[in-house]
Structure formats: C-alpha cells, structure tokens
Amino acid sequence: MDLSLILNTLMITTLTILIIPIALPLLSDSLKNSPTITTNTVKTAFFISLVPMTIHIYSGTENLISLWEWKFIMTFKIPISLKMDFYSLTFFPIALFVSWSILQFATWYMASDPYITKFFTYLLLFLIAMLILIVSNNLFILFIGWEGVGIMSFLLISWWHGRTEANTAALQAVLYNRIGDIGLILCMAWLACTTNTWEIQQLHSSSQMPTLPLLGLILAATGKSAQFGLHPWLPAAMEGPTPVSALLHSSTMVVAGIFLLIRTHPMFTNNQTALTLCLCLGALSTLFAATCALTQNDIKKIIAFSTSSQLGLMMVTIGLNLPQLAFLHISTHAFFKAMLFLCSGSIIHNLNGEQDIRKMGGLQKMMPTTTSCFTIGNLALMGTPFLAGFYSKDQIIESLNTSYLNTWALLLTLLATSFTAVYTIRMTVLVQTGFTRIPPLTPMNENNPAVTSPITRLALGSITAGLLITSYILPTKTPPMTMPVTIKITALVVTALGIAMALEMSKMTQTLILTKQNSFYNFSLSLGYFNPTMHRINTKTMLTGGQNIASHLIDLSWYKLLGPEGLANLQQTAAKTATQAHPGLIKAYLGTFALSTFIILMSMY
C-alpha cells in the first residue's frame, strides 16, 4: 500500500470537503447551506484527517506537494506547495475536532440569530484559511492564510455590529494585526531579495544570519499572537460571540504567530539575539497578561487574558529553541481553552447574558455538567499533574529551569505561573461555589445535547490529549532528564502557592472589610494603563504630524506662501509704498506745465 499516496489524497480530500459547503451554493440556487450541514462537514473532515495523522505516527511519512506555479517572474518560483509534516498532520485533527465541537455548540448558542447560516459560513471560511496557513510550505501561501484569518477575525468580532464597542474592538484587531503584517512582509521581502525563495525547507541557518528578517518574524508573531506591545486587541476581541472567542481567539488564530515562528525555526537556531528577544518578550507578555487577569470581573476577559498569558509562554518556549514543545503546548492548550470558552458561553446563556463573575455563584449544583468540565479545564490550565496541560507546561518550566538563560525571564515566567493558579482558582470559586448571587428568575437549562456533548468531548480531550500526543510522538530534542528535586517540582510548588493564596484571598471577600484602593490594584484593573496611553498619544502624534507635513508645510507654506501668494504679498507691499509717491494729480501737473510754458514764452520777449 502506498502510504504517501493515501496521505496526500486524504489531506486534499479534507480540504476539499471543507470548501464544498461554501462553493456549491454559489454554483446552483437549489443548494443551500445550513448550520447542521456545516457541522457535519467539519465532523466528516475531522474523521478523514485522523487517517493521515495515524499514517504519520505509524510510519513517519511526510510529504511535500507542489501544485500549480505562479509564473510571475521567471527567476523566482512561487508554487502552491503544501507541506505535510508532523506539525500540519497533527494540527489538522486537533483543529477540526475543536472546530466541530464549537460548531455544534454554536447551533445552540446562536440559535436565535437570524443570520446563523452566514455566521457558520464565516466560521468555516476562517477554518479553511487557518488550515491553509498550517499546511503551507511557502511563505506566500502562508501569507494568504494569514490575511484570511485576519479578515475573518474582523468580520466575526464585529458580528453584532450595532454595538460600538464591537466595532472598535474589530478595528483594533485589524490595526494591530496589520502592524504585525509589516514584519511578515519585511521578512518575505528580505528572503526574496537575498535567498530568492519563499519555501520553508530552503530556509537555512547560516552562522551569521542577519537579525533583520528575524525581527520581522517576531513582529509578525507579536501582532498576531498578542504579545506585549501589540496585545490590546485580544481582550477587546471578547466583544464577539462566544463561539468566535472559542475558535479564533483561544485555539486557532492566535497561535498562527507562534506557528509561523515554529515553521521558520531553522532561521532562528543560531541567532542568539532573536532567541533572547523571543524569550524576554514572551516572559513579559505572560506576566503582564496574568497580572491583568487578576482583577478582571468579566468571565470572558479572564479567559482571554489567560490565553494571552499562555501565548507568552509559547513564545518563551520558542526563545528556548524548543519548537516542538511549543507545538505540543499549542495542541494541548487548544483543547482546554476552547472548552473553557464553551463552558463560559453555556454559563452566560443560562444566566440570561450575565458575564460578571461577581454575580454568579453556587452554579455547581445548578449546572453540574458545565461546571465539572469547567473545573477540569481550569485544572488542566494550571498544569495539574497528568491532565493535558501538565505534559506541555511542566516540560516548559523544567526546560526553563535547566537552561542557561536570562534569570529575569525565568522569574517572570514562574511568577506568571503562580498568577495563573490565582486567577483560575478565583474564577472557579466565584463562579461555582459559595452562595448564589444570581437573580431568582433565570432560564437555566443545560440539558440540550448540543451543549453537553461538545463540552464533554473537549473535556475528554483535555484529559487525554497530553498523554496521547506525548506517547506517540518522539521528541526531536532530548528533554532534560536529570535535575534536582527542587527544580523538578518548581512548577507544582509555585502553582500550589498560587492556589493557597487564592483560597485565602477568596475568604477575605466574605469578611466585609472595606477595600481601599492601592496602586497595584489600579495598575492591574486598568490593564497597565497601556490602552489609554498608547491609543491617545500614538494616534495624536501621527495625525498632528501628518497634518503638519501635508497640510501646513506642503499645501499652505510651500504652495501658497513661498509661491504665488508670497510673491503677491511682496508686490503688494512694494506697490503700496510706491504709489504714495504718485498721487496722480493730473490737473495740477498739466496746469503747472501750462503755467511754466506761458512764463517761458513771456520771458522770451
């Protein structure tokens, strides 16, 4: 049996199946799309994509397909080339599994929406763009997928476009992503000029790799994966419906930046500057996001900041020169983060739109399935031993502790790990336990299988995914095997400290002590004062600079004052001065002339 042929065929089949619900209604009027059709399409595509992954695990088959080539310039090849290696073959089933669960959940969540078919079409388009990004071997095809996910993110965040906050959030997402795109285009231009190729397998790691393209790639990842500096769009993106937050802004789109760095990792291996930059940027992002999550009261914002923090952790792993570990974290993170968002969506709908955790409580008895899976997801997020998050997160912390690196990055990451435990426990305790703080008449009903089966499926994935992936995949770099006991249990100790502190502090909220404001609380609550500072100062500087140069300098000064109007002003001044000498008294002059002539004539006789 030709395994590589089966692999190629089934991967192309997966992609084609996903395109069918969008393409066929365009060709004929009698075929219409519907939410169930879209969900079943993604389910079928998931089951089909399991086969290539199994083939790869069984025999290590990898493939590179090169389709039609765009003959734009004869000396520069831009083929449509798809790379089926470990990363794309493993991510396809994971992304499709998560998307299937989210689409099934969305049939219940968006059931009252009049344009639900359009919503599902948007989600499917997003999924196709993301899969194109994953499977591409060429930076050009990757860029197509990159832009595709960016525009679908914009359309989906502003789904309820009657709301101003949704529109501004979507605009923020697009603008910040665009700034990241500058970096990607810079890298593509450098590669096209210097190495004459955009293929990923032709990226080599020379010992003197210039830092410029790597800075471009890091900028692209900062924009797309919401690292510190270009991060405000991710919490603002929670304005979109919960399925959008679950699919885009937790499992798939935001990992596109990290995935780009994983794909182009051969360029990074020898450049210590770029690696250290990734490390420090990731450590800063993870701590900043974890700090902001400590004081948030909106359940979706807490989960969004937790996503941002985990993305920082992935960036730290890239900075440690461990791309496969970062990919493992992406895979396990997809499961529990999507599940956390779906649980929060179920809670929000069942409380009739309430998103503030201070107004939830005691839900454990009222919504048992959702809250159990919520707890499982939170435990997996914290890195509880032998759930999914443990396999990736604990390995990352171990590698951090046993590497020769920047101590500051290490300390920030450990602090962020303990903060993760703090806000997770806070969220769990406030949502599920204690006295209930919800209004008495709430339409609470989670008995719909469209709600419970995706959440339980993803819970199963959160428990087993880490074990399954690490059992079947050999690591390319040897993980550290021996270390002192203290280092080995650092992650556990730090998390346990966080849990203890959070439980203690949640008892304090029931003791009716009047809280005073202090600067740390204000810093965390206002998200580090980043949004008002940067959004005002930057835009005002740019707009006044633009006005000064374009309008005041060029139009008014050069074209008018130094040109015709200045000349006219000079002439006018000269004319005004000169006309004072010429009063134009014709009669006086002519009379004087006549008198003078008469006197001369008379004096001649």
Partner 1 sequence: MTTLHLSFYSAFTLSSLGLAFHRTHLVSALLCLESMMLSMYIALSMWPIQTQAPSSTLLPIFMLTFSACEAGTGLALLVASTRTHGSDHLHNFNLLQC
Interaction between residue 594 and partner 1 (CB under 8 A): yes
Cβ distance to partner 1 smaller for residue 549 or 594: 594
C-beta neighbour count of 500 within 10 angstroms:
14
Cβ distance to partner 1 smaller for residue 449 or 591: 591
- In the three-class reduction of DSSP (H, G, I as helix; E, B as strand; rest coil), residue 529 is classed as helix
Nearest to 341 by CA among 124, 102, 42, 46: 102
Q: How far apart are CA 302 and CA 295, in angstroms?
A: 9
Cβ distance to partner 1 smaller for residue 411 or 594: 594
Of the candidates 587, 600, 602, 605, which one interacts with partner 1 according to CB under 8 A? 587
CB of 554 to partner 1, least distance (A): 33
Nearest to 350 by CA among 295, 159, 342: 342
Q: How far apart are CA 128 and CA 252, in angstroms?
A: 11
Question: What is each CA distance from 544 to 425, 439, 538, 549, 561, in whole angstroms?
Answer: 46, 50, 10, 8, 21
Nearest to 332 by CA among 400, 263, 426, 396: 396
Interaction between residue 590 and partner 1 (CB under 8 A): yes
Question: What is each CA distance from 268 to 185, 212, 241, 322, 487, in whole angstroms?
Answer: 17, 11, 37, 11, 27
Interaction between residue 516 and partner 1 (CB under 8 A): no
Cβ distance to partner 1 smaller for residue 114 or 584: 584
CA angle 409, 412, 413 (to 5 degrees): 85
Q: How far apart are CA 238 and CA 149, in angstroms?
A: 16
Q: How far apart are CA 562 and CA 323, in angstroms?
A: 60
Nearest to 238 by CA among 179, 294, 297, 295: 297
Under 8 Å between Cβ of 476 and 400: no
Interaction between residue 521 and partner 1 (CB under 8 A): no
Task: Give the range of 164-172, 356-364, 451-459, 589-597 binding partner 1 by CB under 8 A.
Answer: 589-597
Of the candidates 532, 563, 566, 591, which one interacts with partner 1 according to CB under 8 A? 591
CB of 594 to partner 1, least distance (A): 4
Cβ distance to partner 1 smaller for residue 72 or 605: 605
CB of 571 to partner 1, least distance (A): 14
Number of residues lying near partner 1 (CB under 8 A)? 9
Cβ distance to partner 1 smaller for residue 443 or 583: 583
CB of 604 to partner 1, least distance (A): 15
CA angle 34, 338, 489 (to 5 degrees): 165
CB of 590 to partner 1, least distance (A): 3
Task: Give the range of 85-93, 175-183, 340-348, 583-591 binding partner 1 by CB under 8 A.
Answer: 583-591
CB of 599 to partner 1, least distance (A): 14
* 321, two tokens: 């020169």
The residue behind tokens 């992954």 is: 53
Cβ distance to partner 1 smaller for residue 534 or 590: 590
CB of 541 to partner 1, least distance (A): 45
Q: Which residues of 294-317 are buried (b: 16+ CB within 10 A; e: fewer)?
A: bbbebbbbbbbbbbbbbbbbbbbb
Tabulate helix, strand, coil % of the chain (nearest 5): 75, 5, 20
CB of 600 to partner 1, least distance (A): 13
Of the candidates 353, 440, 443, 584, which one interacts with partner 1 according to CB under 8 A? 584
Cβ distance to partner 1 smaller for residue 516 or 587: 587
Task: Give the range of 19-27, 72-80, 333-341, 586-594 binding partner 1 by CB under 8 A.
Answer: 586-594
269-308: contacts with partner 1 (CB under 8 A): none
C-beta neighbour count of 148 within 10 angstroms:
19
Cβ distance to partner 1 smaller for residue 559 or 593: 593
CB of 543 to partner 1, least distance (A): 42
202-241: contacts with partner 1 (CB under 8 A): none
CB of 561 to partner 1, least distance (A): 23
Cβ distance to partner 1 smaller for residue 476 or 579: 579
Task: Give the range of 2-10, 244-252, 514-522, 584-592 binding partner 1 by CB under 8 A.
Answer: 584-592
Q: How far apart are CA 91 and CA 98, in angstroms?
A: 10
Nearest to 412 by CA among 316, 308, 305, 318: 316
Interaction between residue 605 and partner 1 (CB under 8 A): no
Please give the distance of CA 207 from its chain centroid, rounded to a whole number: 31
CB of 176 to partner 1, least distance (A): 60
Q: How far apart are CA 362 and CA 437, in angstroms?
A: 8
Q: How far apart are CA 372 and CA 347, in angstroms?
A: 12
Cβ distance to partner 1 smaller for residue 561 or 590: 590
- In the three-class reduction of DSSP (H, G, I as helix; E, B as strand; rest coil), residue 298 is classed as strand
CB of 582 to partner 1, least distance (A): 10
The residue behind tokens 């009222």 is: 366
Cβ distance to partner 1 smaller for residue 486 or 577: 577
Query: DSSP assignment, residue 79?
Result: E
Task: Give the range of 142-150, 424-432, 514-522, 585-593 binding partner 1 by CB under 8 A.
Answer: 585-593
Please give the distance of CA 72 from its chain centroid, rounded to a whole number: 32
CB of 595 to partner 1, least distance (A): 9
Task: Give the range of 18-26, 55-63, 374-382, 591-599 binding partner 1 by CB under 8 A.
Answer: 591-599
Q: What mask of x and - would describe binding to partner 1 in positions 543 to 582, judged by CB under 8 A? A: ---------------------------------x--x---
CB of 568 to partner 1, least distance (A): 15
Binding site for partner 1 (CB under 8 A): 576, 579, 583-584, 587, 590-591, 593-594
